[in-house]
Amino acid sequence: MLWSGWGDPARARELPEQVRGLLRDFLGVRAPATPAVALESVRLPPVALPEPLLGALAGVVGAAHVLTSHEARVRHTRGKSTPDLLRMRAGDGSDAPDAVVLPGSHDEVAELLRVCSAERIAVVPFGGGTSVVGGLSGVAGGAAPGGPGFAGVIALDLARLDRLLSVDEESLVASFEAGVRAPEAERLLAGRGLTLGHFPQSFEYATLGGFAAARSSGQASAGYGRFDDMVMGLTVATPSGTLDLGRAPRSAAGPDLRQLMLGSEGAFGVITLLRLRVRRAPVERRYEGWRFGTFAEGSAAVRALAQEGPLPTVLRLSDETETMIGLAKPDAIGSGGSGCLLIAGYEGGSVAGRRAEAGAVLSRMGGEPLGAEPGEAWERGRFSAPYLRDSLLAVGATVETLETAGFWSNLPRLYDAVRLALAGSLPSPLVMCHVSHVYETGASLYFTVVTAQEGDPVAQWDRAKAAANAAIVEAGGTITHHHGVGRDHRDACAAELGPAGVSVLQAVKARLDPAGILNPGVLVPPPARDA
């Protein structure tokens, strides 16, 4: 993984001339004044943890698994949001952990939490490092004004928890350690003819534990469900003991505590083990494109599929702007057409029947079939967007994504509110949107924003993000459909949950993490003093 960007540097790509022209002529993008720094030039704070504490951590995991090198610290600094990348490109490593600690088992995680609680060492659980919401930037917010500080902060990297433990082929449940990366999970399952079917944008690097902790949802969610739908059981190490949840697919044995740990983003405990629903690997795959006249017409069509069925495995509808830019075909960016492009993908044992039925609905709702090419182009480029972002950052454009979800009747209001907020807070931005996660009662809206960098690009985006967050809360949407909360959505999430909801999160955190060491500042607002 590129330390200051995404993925394998060998896969970095030049922007097509058409795109560079558009950036220059329509958005006023100009080359940045200073190029990105080299890794060795990133400025890090000195290691705050004293030797005896580093020794105590090494006593748990072995000295070879406590890293304090410049490179290890840089590579565990923050996540992969655009502000995260901009800061790293500028050489700002101020949020680096003091050390990277790699436990080799659930028991070592549990013991680390005990030591860190006793010694007041903040712990940032680290899976693939792909958070785009400040989920790995917990510390600053944790040291509340006047509150007790921390002796230091470690990144708790789960990379060594990398095993497929067992597969129950009758129940179609696979037990994984939480540090397994998604491609490796698919490789291990493919040997048995199985798949998770979870393919988010972060697929190449994210871990199963991270998917669970942040409630990930993948590009094929219409067919395979969200990641939280796949979690049948999970084991969580907390400073107050281990939770081992999930004896049946569903239960009425009280509240579903799995659903309390899913989305807990490392603030309640560290997920170490997952029991996941798997599916038979598809025999057949068909991807195709459809065109609708307007986003409203296309939205009505995807709503019909969600409410009447049948659902394709992948369903993505771009609005007019995203279609024009060609964002659904990242390998052919700039080659878009008019109207709104819909991508429908079908995977399964045999897809003909479902494809015919869904096609009949799309035709009835005004869709024009475009054949296989747009679908296959989307599939080829499905993980390209983060690479494209690096190319855009390099030429002086800020590009970032944000997302929300709501009930169908509220989506037009949400769509307008977010676009208005971004237009009002950025210099003539390009704002694109697609629907790619649908439910019977509603859907998500996923926005991609491109704008020319002006002055301090981090501060510039922070203002736009604040405006978008406020617009989402005000328009009644949820602050995130699948990116998670982290620090960037914490206050908006609190507004969404209300004071009683926030106090529930605080109570659970106080019970499971009484020393407050776990990802401080992320997800859970610190309790008001003397409240």
The answer to whether 288 is a known ligand-binding residue is no
The answer to whether 353 is a known ligand-binding residue is no
- Does 262 engage in binding with a copy of itself (CB under 8 A)? yes
Q: How far is the CB of 135 from a copy of itself (least distance, A)?
A: 11
Q: Contacts with a copy of itself in 333-372 (CB under 8 A)?
A: 349, 353
Q: How far is the CB of 254 from a copy of itself (least distance, A)?
A: 5
> In 3-state terms, the chain is what percent helix, strand and coil (to 5)?
40, 20, 40
Instruction: Find the largest Cα–Cα distance for the chain.
Output: 70
Q: Contacts with a copy of itself in 152-171 (CB under 8 A)?
A: 168, 170-171
Q: Is residue 519 within 8 Å of 123, Cβ to Cβ?
A: yes
Measured from the Cβ of residue 338, the count of other Cβ atoms closer than 10 Å reads: 10
Q: How far is the CB of 429 from a copy of itself (least distance, A)?
A: 24
The answer to whether 242 is a known ligand-binding residue is no
Closer residue to a copy of itself (CB): 31 or 283 = 283
Radius of gyration for the alpha carbons in the chain, expressed in angstroms and rounded: 23
CA distances from residue 8 to 11, 35, 38, 383 in whole angstroms, order as listed? 6, 19, 16, 12
Q: Contacts with a copy of itself in 404-463 (CB under 8 A)?
A: 404-410, 437, 439-444
Which amino acid would we find at residue 453? Q
The pair of structure tokens assigned to 315 is 């369903």
Range in contact with a copy of itself (rule: CB under 8 A) among 184-192, 281-289, 372-380, 401-409: 401-409
The answer to whether 398 is a known ligand-binding residue is no
Selected from 75, 382, 481, 487, the binder of a copy of itself by CB under 8 A is: 481
- Does 250 engage in binding with a copy of itself (CB under 8 A)? yes
Q: How far is the CB of 296 from a copy of itself (least distance, A)?
A: 12
Range in contact with a copy of itself (rule: CB under 8 A) among 14-22, 146-154, 244-252, 323-331: 244-252
Could you tell me which residues are beta bridge partners of residue 173? 168, 277
- Does 253 engage in binding with a copy of itself (CB under 8 A)? yes
- Does 125 engage in binding with a copy of itself (CB under 8 A)? no
Helix ranges (DSSP H) in 309-370: 320-325, 352-364
Measure the CA–CA gap between 36 and 210, rounded to whole angstroms: 28
Q: Is residue 72 within 8 Å of 97, Cβ to Cβ?
A: no
Closer residue to a copy of itself (CB): 8 or 244 = 244
- Does 248 engage in binding with a copy of itself (CB under 8 A)? yes
Give me the catalytic one of 224, 287, 415, 446: 446
The answer to whether 267 is a known ligand-binding residue is yes
* Cis previous bond, 310, omega within 30: yes
Measure the CA–CA gap between 495 and 90, rounded to whole angstroms: 33
Q: How far is the CB of 353 from a copy of itself (least distance, A)?
A: 8
Measured from the Cβ of residue 252, the count of other Cβ atoms closer than 10 Å reads: 7
- Give the contacts of 83 (CB within 8 A, at least 6 positions apart): 400, 458, 461, 462
Closer residue to a copy of itself (CB): 100 or 236 = 236
CA dihedral of residues 218, 221, 227, 231 (deg, nearest 10): -160
Measure the CA–CA gap between 234 and 271, rounded to whole angstroms: 7
- Does 376 engage in binding with a copy of itself (CB under 8 A)? no
Range in contact with a copy of itself (rule: CB under 8 A) among 20-28, 79-87, 121-129, 248-256: 248-256
Q: Contacts with a copy of itself in 491-530 (CB under 8 A)?
A: 493, 496-501, 503-508, 510-512, 523
Q: How far is the CB of 492 from a copy of itself (least distance, A)?
A: 8
Mapping DSSP to helix (H, G, I), strand (E, B) and coil, where does residue 498 land? helix
Closer residue to a copy of itself (CB): 81 or 264 = 264
Q: How far is the CB of 91 from a copy of itself (least distance, A)?
A: 31
Closer residue to a copy of itself (CB): 387 or 415 = 415
Measure the CA–CA gap between 5 and 205, rounded to whole angstroms: 12
Number of residues forming the site for a copy of itself (CB under 8 A): 88
- Does 263 engage in binding with a copy of itself (CB under 8 A)? yes
Closer residue to a copy of itself (CB): 48 or 257 = 257
Measure the CA–CA gap between 420 and 400, rounded to whole angstroms: 16
The answer to whether 389 is a known ligand-binding residue is yes
Q: Contacts with a copy of itself in 302-321 (CB under 8 A)?
A: 303, 307-308
Measure the CA–CA gap between 367 and 298, rounded to whole angstroms: 8
- Does 135 engage in binding with a copy of itself (CB under 8 A)? no
Could you tell me which residues are beta bridge partners of residue 100? 67, 155
The answer to whether 266 is a known ligand-binding residue is yes
The answer to whether 345 is a known ligand-binding residue is no
C-alpha neighbours within 13 Å on the C-beta side of residue 525:
19
The answer to whether 128 is a known ligand-binding residue is yes
CA distances from residue 1 to 69, 107, 386, 387 in whole angstroms, order as listed? 17, 28, 12, 11
446 carries an active-site annotation: yes
- Does 482 engage in binding with a copy of itself (CB under 8 A)? yes
Phi and psi angles of residue 521, each rounded to the nearest 5 degrees, phi first: 90, -15
The answer to whether 373 is a known ligand-binding residue is no
Q: Is residue 353 within 8 Å of 372, Cβ to Cβ?
A: no
Binding-site entries for FAD: 125-131, 265-271
Q: What is the set of active-site residues?
A: 446
Residues annotated within the binding site for substrate are 389
Q: Which residues are annotated as a binding site?
A: 125-131, 265-271, 389
